[in-house]
Structure 1
Amino acid sequence: MGGMTAEAIAALKQNLPSAHFVTPDLTEEYGSLNNSYLSGFESDLTPACIFLPKSKEQVAVFLRTIRPFADNVQFAIRAAGRQPLPGCANVQGGITVDLRSLTGIRLRDGIVKVSAGESWGAVYQYLEPHGLGVTGGKSTTCGIGGLSTQGGLSFFSSRESFICDNVVNFEVVVASGEILNANAQENPDLWISLRGGGNNLGIITRFDFSTFKQESMYAGMVFYFKPSWRDQMTALVKELMSPEASVETHLMLSIGYAQVFGNGNDVICLNQIYYTQPVKDPAVLAPFVHVQPQRSEMNSMKIQTLLEAATEQSGAGQSKIRCLYMNVCVKADVDTLATGGDIWCEELEPVKDAAGLMCSYTIQPYPISQLQKTSANGGNVLGLDPSEGPVLNLLLLSYWADKKDDDRVTGFMQKALKRIESNAKDRGQLVPFIYWNYAFSDQDALRSYGQENVQKLQAASKKYDPDGLFQTACPGGFKLFK
């Protein structure tokens, strides 16, 4: 630990005598906290101290105390720690601010107020007795923060837009230590900038979301085989381009490989399908639900609650191992999507023996209805325009077990992504947007928002963080002035 870091921690303990600080000498608690990230790439980092604030006031004192040390001491902000970007929510030798102790959910006048340490599972469980839903994460284990400040898709995105577009108020502690509300009336420039700005503008301690009436939904998973992949791309593009495209439908289509499936050297395809009304087997889903041949014993389509659907989705993931995401966006073009899957399969071959490998090429649409609703909800800084038609995010995801395979698996993903991106560009189908939550270190998600939106974010940073605390002392993620 550097001398200035030790001084900063001492100052924090003096100014926050009742606060919860965990240092490496508290071996068991420190290890438990630092090993609880989704990805081992985050747990590889070892902060000098983990600070677990219990209130927004403690967060404010933290920022006021750390400011004099900003040139020499770094900090990170962690909500649930589910984003695998290395260094996004942890920091080597610095101070990690872990928000898990900021808990509490309240409902008033159709607005649910959620503290930053909560999970989406807790929110859904709280709202279910009220017959309400919210545009939130698709997994119960996902935290509130990343999805709500960097875009994020929900089961309801076709109808309600991005998760960030449904935040009607952010309670945020800015660099000065002042606690602000950011909404359409108070600090509206900060409100819009936090809808995509990530960790550049402050530490958000509470998110207020609009809710809506929500019954059960028809949802589940369908597993099938690679020869049907192109036909599924055709069906997907047809639905997205239809003038009558359903706003109740959310689809994720994947090609995947997993040693745990025991499927030898073969890939398998997966449709994760959601129709947000309690209607069994609606006609709009028929091409995706009844694709043949399929693994019928693994078909889980049924009427279920929002909480149940998110619980099933969370069960499909892993944690506490090596994990990376990369992504690119394209237009709705069958050849681009299908060829992308073929490229991924080709590049996968040399790394299939990586220990515990589970990986996928996943397509998630941003339909026109979703992009149109962004403006209706007040706007964001992501830079996606509905006039350009539907956009599809192509996610490359890999989990594996052994650190010795890091370079091999990362190399496979980077090579596949480069070829997929080049293929889309050559066809005139590439969209410049990169989704922050799925981005790797060498993908500049912020610049993909476009110059005008970057300038908006930079203006907000200069106003609410004039000394650049979050640009220099909080290095994780993507920074506005680099």
Structure 2
Amino acid sequence: MVSSQVIKALKEALPSGQFIQRGTHSYDKLNSWYLSELESDLQPAYIFQPRTKEEVVTFVQTIKPFIGDEKFAIRGAGCQPLPGCANIQDGITLKLSHLTGISIEDGIVRIGAGERWGTVYERLDVEGLGVCGSRSANGGIGGLALEGGLSFFSSREGFICDNVLNYEVVLASGDIVNANAHENSDLWIALRGGGNNFGIVTRFDFRTFKEGNIWGGTVFYFAPSFPSQIEALVGDSLHDPNASTDTHLMLSIGYSAMFSEDIMCLNQPYYTKAVENPAVLDPFTKIQPQVDSLNTMRLHSLREASQEQAASAQKGVRCAYMNITVKADANTLQAGSAIYTAGLAPIKTVENGLFSFTLQPYPISLLEKSASAGGNFLGLKSADGPLVSVLLMSYWKNKADDEAVLGFMKTALEKIKQEAALRDKLVFYLYMNYAFSHQDPISSYGAVNKAKLQEISSKYDPEGMFQRGCPGGFKLFPCMGVQDEQDMMAKIVLTVDKH
């Protein structure tokens, strides 16, 4: 529990009305606004809402002497379902939603850390511009821009983090610095995938590009067609040397309590030019039979496309992601799909359950763009590609089902991982945005990259404030006791009733 001493110091240094205490209506409302109730289950003692970057500085400087005994979490939009990533039991959650502001100048959009991507797209649409950002209008800026991030434009523009030209960061010292190709360039690259290990980012500056409407939407179809979709993904889309860089694909198979069919499939194909029915997407849009009434393929703005993605997200539910990465090999993906669907039977009785095995490609063009845009520490090289992200995603209603759902996911993922390894198609990389608490994405970047990230952390945070004091997410130095803290948070999610 946060000590009265640290709260007294913080309230003397900062507007006391911006500290929301547990047990109040305002607190309950704010703490419920996460994508997953696995995060809302955690109950910080206070939620602090800074309104300026200077207030973030004051918070850091005031709490720093207490680090070791006191802990905090950093929350943007709260859209990553990892327990404890953006919330903390009995500590202070720093909620950045009031750090807003969007400005566009010289092809750069500067975005406050508290913004949502839907608002950004609304501003850019007016200018005829696009940006490599979230596919969901509800998505926040920080999680994607600090951990990797996939966008409609990733085949052409790289990961979302590759498109950040500058981070404005509050360091453990309380200094506000810019990290870009010319200032603090080591920190700039470290923040491209390094998560919350280096400071509190208060503004993100992205490069933009000319963009009009895009073609895309949803196509629902049936399980017998999924193998042919995998073949089309691997053959026509990824291994073609002349593959289009304007496509973005998400292919899913799984179970939903909303459908009468036992197993359903969903494609979410996009083409980032204003072309109706582009032939390159025909294999993914013209499947027969399909559920015609649920086909939403059309031309729309980037904002409208992101709103459609946001509208499909469930609210007030429990949610978890887990992932691995494999080589783009059809037999491996077919085997993974079969393993996943074969294991679904025991959890089909889970109330309001939705469980999916989702494939998202990392084409060679994406990996090449990462390198040409300045690089990152994710550890991926174009020579490794093409690759495919294998995401297991689950939504369900009741806390009582946590153990069954998470157990199913872990078991299925381990079997899929073993199958990929046996075929020599497993890739070590884990996408941080989709990782769960038992996974270690930072180590998956490779030993050399992890060591470099640790070195940069020690340079900018020599006392380890963001390792010891901000234990959520994935840390660089588990030996500091952070892993114990994460294990505790995962245990809280499974065992503690809501207040």
Unaligned runs of 5+ in 1: none
Is 1:50 the counterpart of 2:47? The answer is yes
Letter in structure 2 aligned against 1:260? M
Structure 1 partner of 2:188: 191
Q: Which amino acid aligns with 1:435?
A: Y
TM-score using structure 1 length: 0.98
Q: Residue by residue, what CA displacement relative to the aligned partner does 1:140-176 show, whole Å, maximum 9, x if unpaired?
A: 0010010000001000000000000000000000101
1:286-320 Cα shifts (integer Å, max 9, x gaps)? 11111111111111111111011111111221132
Distance 2:221 2:334 in 1: 15
Please, which moves more after superposition, 5-14 or 120-129? 5-14
1:12-91 to 2 correspondences below 5 Å: 12-17=10-15, 20-25=18-23, 27-91=24-88
Partners of 1:287 and 1:41 in 2: CA distance: 37
Contact 2:322 2:409 in 1 (8 A): yes
Q: Which residue of 2 aligns with 1:94?
A: 91
State how many pairs are aligned: 477
1:314-329 equivalences under 5 Å are 314-329=310-325
In structure 2, give the amino acid aligned to 1:334.
A
Partners of 1:400 and 1:385 lie apart in 2 by: 36
Aligned partner of 1:111: which letter?
Answer: I
1:304 paired residue number: 300
Distance in 1 (alpha carbons) for counterparts of 2:385 and 2:65? 48
Contact 2:61 2:174 survives alignment (8 Å): yes
Distance 2:311 2:429 in 1: 29
Equivalent positions of 1:394-405 (< 5 A) are 394-405=390-401
Residue in structure 2 matching 1:236, options 233, 236, 249: 233
Contact 1:19–1:53 under 8 Å retained in 2: no
**For residue 327 of structure 2, what is the amino acid of its counterpart?**
K
Any idea what SS the aligned residue of 1:260 has? coil
Structure 2 match to 1:278: 274
Q: Which residue of 1 aligns with 2:251?
A: 253
In structure 1, C-alpha distance between the alignment counterparts of 2:254 and 2:129, rounded to whole Å? 33
The answer to whether the Cα contact below 8 Å between 2:361 and 2:386 also exists between their aligned partners in 1 is yes
Matched, 1:434 2:404: no
Counterpart CA distance in 2 for 1:213 and 1:463 is 38
Please point out which of 420, 423, 429 is paired with 1:424. Answer: 420
Q: 1:136: which partner in 2?
A: 133
1:294 aligns with 2:290: yes
Matches within 5 A, 1:363-382: 363-382=359-378
Q: 1:159 aligns with which of 156, 159, 167?
A: 156
Query: Whole-Å Cα distance in 1 between the matches of residues 371 and 400 of structure 2?
Result: 46
Structure 2 residue 438 is matched with structure 1 residue 458: no
**Letter of the structure 2 residue corresponding to residue 332 of structure 1:** A
Counterpart among 431, 440, 447 of residue 443 in structure 2: 447
Give the whole-Å Cα distance in 2 for the aligned partners of 1:468 and 1:206: 22
* Matched position secondary structure for 2:395: strand
Q: Contact 2:392–2:409 (CA<8 Å) still a contact in 1?
A: yes
Aligned to 1:480, the other structure's residue is in SS state coil
In the alignment, is residue 479 of structure 1 matched against residue 479 of structure 2? no
Compute the RMSD of aligned alpha carbons: 0.9
For residues 361-383 of structure 1, give each alpha carbon's deviation from its aligned partner in whole angstroms, at most 9, with x where no partner exists: 10011100000011110000000
Q: Deviations over 1:76-109 (max 9, x none)?
A: 0000001011111000110000001111100011
Give the CA deviation at 1:256. Answer: 2.5
The 3-state SS of whatever aligns with 2:370 is helix
Q: 1:237 to 1:468 in 2, by over 3 A?
A: same
Question: Counterparts of 1:431 and 1:293 in 2: how far apart (Å)?
Answer: 34
Alignment check: 8 A CA contact 2:362 2:385 kept: no
Stretches of structure 2 that go unaligned for 5 or more consecutive residues are 479-499
Partner amino acid for 1:132? L
In the alignment, the residues of structure 1 paired with residue 117 and residue 401 of structure 2 have an alpha-carbon distance, to the nearest angstrom, of: 32
1:6 matched to 2:4? The reply is: yes
Partner of 1:267: 263
| Counterpart mapping for 1:198-213 below 5 A | 198-213=195-210
Q: Structure 2-normalised TM-score? A: 0.95
Distance 1:356 1:59 in 2: 39
Distance in 2 of aligned mates of 1:156 and 1:389: 18
- Is the 8 Å Cα contact of residues 19 and 52 (structure 1) preserved in structure 2? no
Q: Distance in 2 between matches of 1:338 and 1:35?
A: 38
Runs of 4+ in 1 over 6 A off after TM superposition: none
SS in 2 for 1:101: coil
